[in-house]
Chain A
Amino acid sequence: MSTTKTVAVRLNGKDREVDTGHTVLTLLAELDLQPGMVVVELNRDILERERYADTEVHDGDSLELVHFVGGG
């Protein structure tokens, strides 16, 4: 077996495989999301924007990516 190239994460309620070595910032870029328009919850804790770049995505992580939508 070669080394694993992906890690399994839970992303917005769905299981997904993402490449190893991602930070939250690079993951957002791959998803075509602007960091300034997204709030990230990592394993139920809010991740401050300043930490996106140095927070690695690990196997088993659960991420919620949220934004503002229309509401009353």
Chain B
Amino acid sequence: MGNGAVRPEATNGLDGSFHIGGVEFVSRLIVGTGKYETNEVMVDAIKVSGAEMVTVAVRRIDLDRDNEQGILHHLRPDDFFLLANTAGCSTAEDAIRYARLARAAGFNDFLKLEVIGDASTLLPDVHATLEAAKTLADEGFKVMAYTNDDLITALRLEDAGCVAVMPLASPIGSGLGMVNPYFIREIKRRLSVPVIVDAGVGTASDACITMEQGVDGILMNTALAAADDPVQMALAMKHATVAGRLAFLAGRMPSNEIAIPSSPVIGMLD
């Protein structure tokens, strides 16, 4: 049921695929499903983004609402690789409970682990995240852990058995873009598991700059959902993610603080 479902049209032909937890993905863009004005716009935006992996949250069914429908009524699970999250959890215990519920839905063992330590910044509680990651990895979960842009925590999460480490670009929903590219590069340099930058991207240039750091992928939600035209922004993000990746692979020219002419300096007329 949706396990490993990779949509062939996501292939761009310009960049190789990569693996997370043994599953192959072509698109390096992972998108959320929250905060869209309508489900129709959400589905259109996600399709246009080319994303294969999409995040979903676990919540109580509202029994007081008639015809209460979960996200899977709108998003065909066979078309996407579902990545359940533990958003909203602020303790390791809660995150583990949500993780187990998510896995019981029967799609896959992957989990976006997120344990929030502060309500105003939504910064992660890295101690609780690490504690939950150890338990869940031991239970066979393929944990993709949302974390700070902190190298030591990233290394500990890798040691704990996470299949991907997901440092933030900037706080969730802030749209501030990449505030610490140096630390993100350092995390990518030092880890063996994929590094996915999760949260903080605001517009296409942010996605491009993020991918230019050499990370394996990028996860975003609000940047699409809160755009005036989410579908158009999804297309922009698709191209920006590919462009940033290709620029990284191509290797940028050195930056100089002086001008260097592009045209020959000899052969000028008298």
Which A residues have a C-beta under 8 Å from some C-beta of B? Answer: 11-14, 31, 33, 37-39, 41, 44, 46, 48-49, 64-72
Contacts and interface: CB of A to CB of B under 8 A. Distances in A.
A33 B72 CA distance: 13
Contacts of B42: 70
Contacts of A44: 97
B60 A66 contact: yes
Nearest to A13: B60
Given A39-B104, A41-B101, A49-B106, A68 B84 contact: yes
A66 B59 contact: yes
B101 A46 contact: yes
A65 B63 contact: yes
Given A39-B105, A46-B101, A72 B61 contact: no
A68 B70 contact: yes
Closest 9 CB pairs of A and B: A71-B57, A72-B221, A72-B32, A67-B70, A70-B33, A68-B56, A70-B34, A71-B34, A39-B104
Interface in B38-81: 42, 55-63, 70-73
A68 B82 contact: yes
A14 B32 CA distance: 30
Q: Chain B interface secondary structure, helix, strand, loop or mixed?
A: mixed
A71 B55 contact: yes
Contact of A69 (B70, B104, B106, B219): B70
B222 interface: yes
A68 B72 CA distance: 7
Interface in B185-242: 199, 219-222
B61 A67 contact: yes
A71 B85 CA distance: 8
B134 interface: no
